[in-house]
Chains A and B, each alone.
Chain A
Amino acid sequence: MKVGMVCPYSFDVPGGVQNHVLDLTRTMRDLGVDVSVLAPAADDDDLPSYVTPAGRALPVRYNGAVARVSFGPRAMARTRRWLRDGGFDILHVHDPATPSVSLMALSLASGVSIATIHTSIGRSRALAATEALLRPAMEKLSARITVSREAQRVVAHYQGGDSVIIPNGLFVDDFSSVERRPSAGPGPSLLFLGRFEETRKGLPVLLEALPAVVERYPGLRLVVAGAGDPRAGNAMVPQALRENVDVVGRVSDDERARLLSETDVYVAPNTGGESFGIVLIEAMAAGAPVVASDIRAFADVLEDGRLGALFGNEDPLSLAKTLIDALDDPAREERAAVAREAVRRYDWSVVAPQVISVYETVLGAGGNA
Chain B
Amino acid sequence: MSTLEWVLVIGAVVAAITVALSTTAGRLDRLHIRLATAQASLDRQLLDRSTCLRNVATSGVLDPASALVAVEAADAARAGIGKVDQEDRETALSEVMRTVFGDAADVDDLWASADEPQREMLADLGDACERVQLAHRFHDDLVARTERMRRKRIVRWARLAGHAPWPYRMDFDDTPPPHLVVKERPIAGPGQESSATDVR
Residues of A within 8 A of B (CB): 58, 60-63, 69, 71-76, 99-101, 103-104, 107, 127, 129-130, 132-134, 136-137
Contact = CB atoms under 8 A, between A and B. Distances in A.
A313 B64 CA distance: 37
A39 to B, nearest CB: 13
Contacts of A76: 63, 65-66
A76 B67 CA distance: 12
Nearest to B109: A73
18 contacts: A71-B69, A71-B100, A73-B63, A73-B66, A73-B102, A75-B65, A76-B66, A99-B64, A99-B68, A103-B65, A127-B71, A129-B57, A129-B58, A130-B68, A133-B57, A133-B58, A133-B68, A134-B68
B64 A137 contact: yes
B188 interface: no
Nearest to B58: A129
A5 B64 CA distance: 19
Contacts of B76: 61
A174 to B, nearest CB: 34
Interface of B: 54, 57-58, 63-69, 71-73, 76, 92, 95-96, 99-102, 106, 109-110
Contact of A62 (B63, B67, B69, B100): B69
B99 A72 contact: yes
Given A73-B110, A134-B68, A104 B63 contact: yes
B107 to A, nearest CB: 9
A71 B63 CA distance: 9
Given A62-B72, A71-B99, A133-B71, A100 B58 contact: no
A265 B100 CA distance: 47
B64 A134 contact: yes
A137 B62 CA distance: 13
A72 B100 contact: yes
Q: Which of A72, A75, A99 has the most CB of B within 10 A?
A: A72
